[in-house]
Amino acid sequence: CGTDKSKAVSAMIWVTDIRHRDAMNEVWFEWTAGQNMPVRACVEAALADPKLLVEIQITATK
């Protein structure tokens, strides 16, 4: 049971300020290493915890 990031098929990313998108992209591309990159959307939104800047939901296959 389980999976890993190489099997990610989609990602939904929420940022509290869209101006953080470039910094988030740097971390994202480092994490994916430019390989097996899932379909992705990034939107600005208020998050439930005001201490958070980014929330990411990943869907992956087994």
Predicted confidence (pLDDT) per residue in 32-55, tens digit? 988 888 999 999 999 999 999 999
Average pLDDT, the chain: 93
Task: Please tell us whether the domain made up of 5-60 is placed in CATH 3.30.559.10.
Answer: no
What does DSSP say about strands 8-15 and 39-44: parallel, antiparallel, or unpaired?
parallel
Report how far residue 62's alpha carbon sits from residue 53's, in angstroms, rounded to the nearest whole number. Answer: 29
pLDDT band of residue 16 (cuts 50, 70, 90) is very high
Domain ranges of the chain: 5-60
Close Cβ partners of 21 (under 8 Å, ≥ 6 residues apart) = 15, 42
Residue 58's CB is within 10 A of a number of other CB atoms, namely 15
Residue 1 scores a pLDDT above 70: no
What's the whole-number mean pLDDT along residues 20-37?
A: 90
